[in-house]
Homo-oligomer: A and B are copies of this chain.
């Protein structure tokens, strides 16, 4: 084996061995390494404040207001311009953002430890079923109330339950089972949410006497939100993908992320450098009443799930998604199959029933992407310009990111 192959094999093995365990709920300020009270994290490779536009810009401003860092939107904008408030990218703080992906210091986050590697990944909470959410670029009194409800009721209740579990809730068995129950752990987490809820209930029974209202509200919140588990899936994926960072000579993708304009990737062998290119249009299925013209990108790092072989890389586990994001079962299977051509191997436990329990394609090799021209497939939620979800669809990672990454890799290591 060449050094390159050995490195990619190591990256694959780390991804395959990852054992994510949901261990605790903390505030972003306490949890995220390097987090500061005046920092607002958002999705994608970090940009200058002026480069954030539309919903993502509005979401950062909303975060500043929610955190009490500014008195109004104008004040927030001025402070973001002056650097009094700093905007930065989630990925360098151990977390990943859903859509715009706003983190402020006081927000609660779910901590997922990859016990096979000793590292931790974080994600904040689902905001609930309302179409108006901060991560979709909206901030008003309703959004604020929901964020406070999550912070004051949901997060502490989940925190106490996981504390009672002693050792945390292992997520690998939940993900493994959910893949046999129609989830791909990105745009579909209905089974994961139910399986996770089942793990929580015994602790909720213990807690009910002390805080009946909180327990009831939390269970209802979880039950009403099939997306609840996505945040745990994302934190698990971040904890998994980070184990494939900083592997010399690895050309395996260790992160994918996008902002309002740029799609970016990192490789294990090229450190913290992002390779970016313009976003391509998504193949979207829109909710009733919306058109292509309403689509607006406002960031997204839930594609960390594809980075670890889930989401679009496990579409054939989730044919139900066709109803939500379009496509036919045949297309979904074909797209999913093509991902085996750009990956290092197959996951030993995360399997796709329709492929005869073949493991999900795992470990995107940038060289294979460039050589084959096959772009990674991602299942994403689609935001609208008025700041809400208007649909879902399939996004392809731009080839240019991979071409840059391969060029940088070749420059650094003098070829493969």
Contacts and interface: CB of A to CB of B under 8 A. Distances in A.
A385 interface: no
B182 A202 contact: no
Contacts of A215: 205
A407 interface: no
B219 A357 contact: no
B208 A205 contact: yes
Q: Which of A198, A204, A215 has most chain B Cβ within 10 Å?
A: A198
Chain A's interface size range is 20 to 34
A289 interface: no
A260 interface: no
Interface string A162-198: 0000000000000001001110000000110011011
Contact of A180 (B195, B320, B355): B320
A354 interface: yes
Binding site secondary structure of chain A: helix
Contact of A191 (B194, B197, B208, B212): B194
Contact of A353 (B195, B205, B209, B319): B319
A217 to B, nearest CB: 11
A197 B216 CA distance: 15
A356 interface: yes
A198 B205 contact: no
A216 B223 contact: no
A291 interface: no
A329 interface: yes
Given A319-B353, A329-B356, A355-B329, A198 B209 contact: no
20 contacts: A177-B190, A181-B191, A182-B191, A182-B353, A194-B194, A198-B223, A202-B220, A204-B205, A205-B208, A205-B212, A208-B209, A209-B209, A320-B353, A322-B353, A322-B357, A323-B353, A328-B356, A329-B353, A329-B354, A354-B354
A70 to B, nearest CB: 41
